A = this chain, B = another copy of it.
Amino acid sequence: MIKAVIFDLDNTLVDFMKFKRQSVEAAVDAMIDAGLKIDKKKAEEIIYEIYEEKGIEYQRIFDEFLEKVLGEIDYKILSAGIVAYRRVKEATLSIYPHVRQTLTELLKMNMKLGVVSDAPRLQAWTRIAQAGLLHYFDVVVTFDDTRVLKPAAEPFMFALNKLGLEPKEAIMVGDWAERDIVGAKQIGMITVFARYGDVFGTQNSGADYEINDIYELVDIVKNLNKKGG
């Protein structure tokens, strides 16, 4: 009997890479408009190199970018970039199609809902809040709660313990096969690969199910609970 559905956050519920691309592009445009002399493509390349090195959540991204290309921080250019980034971020952080509909439907089926994310606590929570999903979840586990990344068992077990459930009573949905699927599977959860969020061109997800639209979860849960009784 399935009693809970646990989701990865970024690229599973929230279209994180789309928002990141659009925000970075807006920031680069604004910095060039504020006087930065640089080729746009080159600027984006350097920014993604810094993200690559420091992590995609790195907060001093534009400071470091300017130090790299100018040798110092020009605050006129920096502030133009930050403000443009934030504006687009506020406007575009978007959930995938049918997310709200799916979560609502799962609630009506008495499912508990959770998030298990490798993102830092504050960033994960604010993205959930910004996406307007704050009220759906019974448990939200972020990197800071266990200090271990998926596929380790800890974050998944942390969520299950909070819900008082066994692994086999819960579904894990995620876009990252090596973290979400491998981790959930090895402790005995049912796994669903969110192919719509896959940015790696994953061939074999190894998941029990694959979905191209999050709403497919509703039928998966229905069928599992019909079978399982």
Residues on A lying within 8 angstroms of B by beta carbon are 34, 75-76, 78-80, 82-83, 86-87, 90, 121-122, 125-126, 128-130, 134-135, 140, 142
Contacts of A79 on B, CB cut-off 8 Å? 122, 125-126, 128-129, 134
Task: Report how many copies the assembly holds.
Answer: 2
A140 smallest CB distance to B (angstroms)? 7
A76/B34 contact (C-beta < 8 A), A86-B90, A90-B86, A130-B83 known: no
- State the CA gap A78–B129 with chains docked (Å): 9
- State the CA gap A82–B127 with chains docked (Å): 11
Q: Give A82's nearest chain B residue, CB to CB.
A: B126
Which of A90, A122, A125, A129 is the most central at the interface, judged by chain B CB atoms within 10 Å of its CB?
Answer: A129
Given A78-B125, A80-B129, 18 more A-B residue pairs with CB atoms under 8 Å apart are A34-B129, A34-B134, A34-B135, A75-B122, A75-B140, A76-B129, A76-B134, A76-B140, A78-B122, A79-B122, A79-B126, A79-B128, A79-B129, A79-B134, A82-B122, A82-B126, A83-B126, A83-B129
Contacts of A135 on B, CB cut-off 8 Å? 34
Contacts of A125 on B, CB cut-off 8 Å? 75-76, 78-79
A121 touches B90 (CB 8 A): no
A212 smallest CB distance to B (angstroms)? 30
Which of A75, A76, A80, A82 is the most central at the interface, judged by chain B CB atoms within 10 Å of its CB?
Answer: A75
Main secondary structure on A side of the interface with B: helix
- State the CA gap A82–B121 with chains docked (Å): 13
- State the CA gap A34–B83 with chains docked (Å): 27
Partner of A121, one of B75, B80, B87, B142: B75
Contacts of A75 on B, CB cut-off 8 Å? 121-122, 125, 140, 142
A145 smallest CB distance to B (angstroms)? 10
A168 smallest CB distance to B (angstroms)? 28
A184 smallest CB distance to B (angstroms)? 23
Q: Give A132's nearest chain B residue, CB to CB.
A: B83
Partner of A80, one of B34, B76, B134: B134
A66 smallest CB distance to B (angstroms)? 12
A192 smallest CB distance to B (angstroms)? 25
The 8 closest A-B pairs by CB, nearest first: A79-B125, A79-B129, A83-B129, A75-B125, A79-B126, A83-B130, A80-B129, A90-B90
